[in-house]
A and B are shown apart, each in its own frame.
Chain A
Amino acid sequence: MKILLIAEYRDGKLLTGYTEQLGFAEKMGAEIVMFLAGSDSALPNYGGKLYLADASSCGEFNPDAHKKMILEVVAKEQPDMVALAHSSYGWDLAPRLAYGMQAAQVSEVVDVQDKLLVVPACNSKLRRSIRCTTGQTVVTLQAGAFKPVELSAAPQVEKVSMTAEGRVIFEGYEAAAAGGVDLTKAEIIVSAGRGIGKPENVAMIAGLAKALGGEYGASRPVVDSAWVEHNRQVGTTGQTVAPKLYVACGISGAIQHLAGMKKSEFVVAINTDKDAPIGEVADVLVVADLMQFVPIFTEKVQAL
């Protein structure tokens, strides 16, 4: 079996996600080739063959051009599988490649069991194993699902080139809103999820954080609703934190939230739903209505 890995490059930097793609390929026992639209001054640590396009001429984000180049590599290498990260770059490009290759696409692979790819369903409450009926497949891999591998040798570079023609015109990056708290430095974080119900209840969560001597954070819906500012959002599109204690209040435990907090030393979840996926990473799951539990718990902590 042969897998073509698509590495990622953004804002002049090589992203490290390719090491997990290498881990996946190793688990599949596959022969590897790699493609990168990047720069020869930032090459992946991987000793095999690398098809390298120059991002300064073809663009860092140019779906039409990247698709075309990768399909040419596919035609030449005839891989059984093309693997990308399940990232803003990967999930955008993968269906384009799958369509071009007339291949099945399996999104957000979290595991391989009995040679079948496993993906989450229903906000990760369930899993599915998938059987593809096409010769070639395209897959995207969930961040953190496969053990990173670094192969220290330098790659053998084969240059590919393409002009920057494409219908989607990239006009630059906009940085995340900066300033305010730095959650990454907090030793204790209490986070509010959609389960808090209304903005007035942020104060209750902040109150518990204060009683514990920590900071408060939030899941995305709470931030999207502007109940809490963005720099307190935990998850893939917010902060990645690893405090000594993380208390998730009314948070279901979607993969994108877990990615931002699963390295916490001790996780407490407060949730009315005993089956909420946050239970998978929680050291303690308190099955309770947070409206009742949090005020009592806060009071008892203050009394210590």
Chain B
Amino acid sequence: MKILVCIKQVPDMESKFKVAAEGTWYDNQDLAWRMNEYDEYAVEQAVRLKEQVGDADLTVLSIGSDKVKETMKKALAMGCDRGAHIADDAAWNKEPFQVAGIIAEYARDKGFDVIFTGMQSQDRGSGQVGVLVAEMLELPSVSTIVDFGYEAGTIIAKRELEGGIKAKVKVQAPAVVTCQLGLNTPRYPTLPNIMKAKKKELLSIPVAELLKVNARMETANMFFPEKKGGGLVLEGEAGELADRLISILKDKTTVLK
């Protein structure tokens, strides 16, 4: 069995963001980078599937600059067998249709039985790439899964709907699934596995070999949302803050009698 999992490296969302000089994306200096949260669930599920079927080869793919190899190493340490790094210093500026095009081009003749992606990236957040990859490869896809099972070529999954309702679905592999938060509990790589991962194959492929589609949109402008007026920001020592908050609650609400 052949499995592919696609991961993106994103900044930690608690970072202090600045808009870059050209005004269409955030400045990538002074940020802490990590694996897109949704993709951690995808990697974990892919590793579990590999462990379940035994005879499987699991590739982790990421498009980005050399820096993304750090995040790929985490996926290798979690249990992926090999890494396909699509080298692209301008990956930050690729829109979902291009990202999906690159992944589909890579996967086209490789006969993957299951392709895992996150349901969305935390920075761009389009939620398109996984489903688009499936469309481009003419495979069926199931988005937003919170439960995944595999039995003799059939994927049995649950999609998460609004309000906590789930939809039970079945689909025949080969197929693409996009992973939602809470799908599983991603493992922490152990030290021996981190050491082993260093010896695993991690090949870089220039993006030019795989990029065959044009962008369909562009960012005109990136900016900070306007803060809604009226909100009060309190800073200072904890005890003093507590007193100020109590007096505000007495003043503005009826909850403290």
Contact = CB atoms under 8 A, between A and B. Distances in A.
Given A64-B140, A124-B225, A293-B242, A132 B122 contact: no
A137 to B, nearest CB: 8
B218 A130 contact: yes
A129 B220 contact: yes
Interface residues of A, number: 95
Interface string A261-289: 00001101000011111011111111111
A221 B181 contact: yes
A215 to B, nearest CB: 13
Nearest to B133: A95
Given A92-B143, A130-B219, A286-B245, A105 B128 contact: yes
Given A106-B217, A285-B233, 7 more contacts: A107-B96, A119-B125, A173-B167, A174-B167, A176-B165, A252-B14, A266-B252
B165 A174 contact: yes
Interface of A: 10-11, 61, 63-64, 87-89, 91-92, 94-96, 98-100, 103-108, 116, 119-134, 137, 167-177, 187-188, 212-214, 220-221, 223-225, 230, 233, 236-238, 244-245, 252, 265-266, 268, 273-277, 279-289, 292-293, 296-297, 300-301, 304
Contacts of B166: 173-174
Interface string B146-185: 0000000000001111111111111110010000011001
Contacts of B175: 167
A301 B249 CA distance: 11
A237 B242 contact: no
Interface of B: 11, 13-14, 16-17, 19, 24, 26, 95-97, 122-128, 131-132, 135-136, 140-144, 158-172, 175, 181-182, 185, 215-225, 227-228, 230-235, 238-239, 241-243, 245-246, 248-249, 252-256
B17 A300 contact: no
Interface centre among B131, B160, B170, B185 (most CB of A within 10 A): B131
Contacts, number: 253
Interface centre among A91, A103, A187 (most CB of B within 10 A): A91
Contacts of A11: 165
B165 A300 contact: no
A300 B244 CA distance: 11
B256 A304 contact: yes
A108 B16 CA distance: 23
A297 B245 CA distance: 8
Contacts of A214: 255
Contact of B126 (A105, A244, A276): A105
A127 B223 contact: yes
A174 B158 contact: yes
A126 B224 contact: yes
